[in-house]
Amino acid sequence: MYLFFDEIQEVKMFEKTINSFRVSFDCSIFITGSNSKMLSAEISTVLTGRIIEFSIYPFSFYESEKFREKQNTMIDNAFYDYLELGGYPFRFNLTSKDDVKLYLNELYNNICVKDIFTRDVEIEKTKFLKIAKYVLVNAGSDFNPEAIYNYLKSNNGGKEYCNLRTIYNYLDKLEKAFLIKPIYRYNISGKKILSSNPKYYAIDNGMRIINVDSNFYDRGKFLENVICIELLSRGYELYIGKTYKGKVDFVACKNGKKCFIQVAYIMESEETITRKFGEFSPIKDASPKYVFSLDRMDMSRNGITHINIIDFLLGKVDIFLS
């Protein structure tokens, strides 16, 4: 017998009922929900040791292309459509960009209301939405809660708009509602994970585009966001690499092995190529090193492999760890 329950967090004290089914029937139980608190806190208290948890992400680019192929709705410039509007599955049933944005707005508002505001009536909605907007617009950039605090304060005539404790609390709410993902820093030379000042990425670029005020969004940051979520969905542990001279975009780890990744949009000049490949120079670790970009020409050099991003997303090439 197989039992399936969707959006289980909407049912009060669901975990006790699920446990009663488990002991009463010879069955496998599958439950889904859109708030990580459900599994991390509520269900684990009753079902400790009896559950396997995994995250389901929006469609990857590969999955979106397979879906379009099955629906016979293939389009030109599919990658740039995905880069901007993301991979929430239902949006691929919509043909108009305006309709997709309306759907994403509705989805975003529903997540905020059902999974955040309803679960915590003390949240100040206006302040929460301002903080969420800042984080989603600036996802992938270097900022911390103090930067958010100062931004809100400067836009409030120099008066405190929201205290730091509230900002930390709201960031936690955004993470638990699967809107953002913190990626922590890894000190490459010291081989140590740093527990403070993570970078925040959006789970899906669709949630970013509806919060950007203009059509001139930073494609480079959107691209970095796509790579981040792609690697997470493939099961890699992901960190921001910190060197004594700077940083590496990602350190991807699995089964005790790792590789280093830099992401660029287009490397139009020799100066950009030299800079991107040169950012690996402080790293003495012999693990594989990759530069990802949309360039079609193979620019691999000095033992560093260049990978075309679209080929990687479609599974035509892959990375190796050691």
Query: Do residues 82 and 64 lie in contact, with contact meaning Cβ atoms separated by under 8 Å?
Result: yes
Query: Do residues 206 and 104 lie in contact, with contact meaning Cβ atoms separated by under 8 Å?
Result: yes
What's the domain count of the chain? 1
* Residue 236: C-alpha distances to residues 19, 256, 302, 313 (Å): 31, 11, 25, 14
On average, the pLDDT of the chain sits at: 92
Rg, the chain, Cα only: 21
Nearest by Cα to 60 from 76, 78, 41: 78
Asked if residue 222 belongs to a domain, the reply is: no
| Res. 196 pLDDT band, cuts 50 70 90 | confident
Query: pLDDT tens digits, residue range 265-301?
Result: 999 899 999 999 999 999 999 999 999 999 999 999 9
Expressed as residue numbers, the domain containing 14 is 2-47
Strand (E) or helix (H) holding 79: helix 78-85
For 108-116, what is the mean pLDDT? 91
Asked if residue 140 belongs to a domain, the reply is: no
Asked if residue 34 belongs to a domain, the reply is: yes
Query: Do residues 288 and 303 lie in contact, with contact meaning Cβ atoms separated by under 8 Å?
Result: no
Q: What is the pLDDT of residue 34?
A: 77
Q: What is the pLDDT of residue 12?
A: 81
Query: Do residues 250 and 241 lie in contact, with contact meaning Cβ atoms separated by under 8 Å?
Result: yes
Beta bridge partners of 262: 291
- pTM greater than 0.85: yes
Query: pLDDT tens digits, residue range 9-42?
Result: 778 888 888 888 988 999 999 988 877 665 565 6
Asked if residue 201 belongs to a domain, the reply is: no
Name which of 40-49, 169-178, 200-209, 232-241 the model is least confident about.
Answer: 40-49
Asked if residue 9 belongs to a domain, the reply is: yes
Asked if residue 254 belongs to a domain, the reply is: no
Q: What is the pLDDT of residue 129?
A: 97
Asked if residue 20 belongs to a domain, the reply is: yes
Report helix, strand or coil for 5: strand
Nearest by Cα to 142 from 249, 290, 278: 249
Instruction: Work out whether strand 247-254 and strand 257-263 pair parallel, antiparallel, or are unpaired.
Output: antiparallel
- Say what percent of the chain tops pLDDT 70: 95
Q: What is the pLDDT of residue 275?
A: 93
For 82-109, what is the mean pLDDT? 96
Asked if residue 139 belongs to a domain, the reply is: no
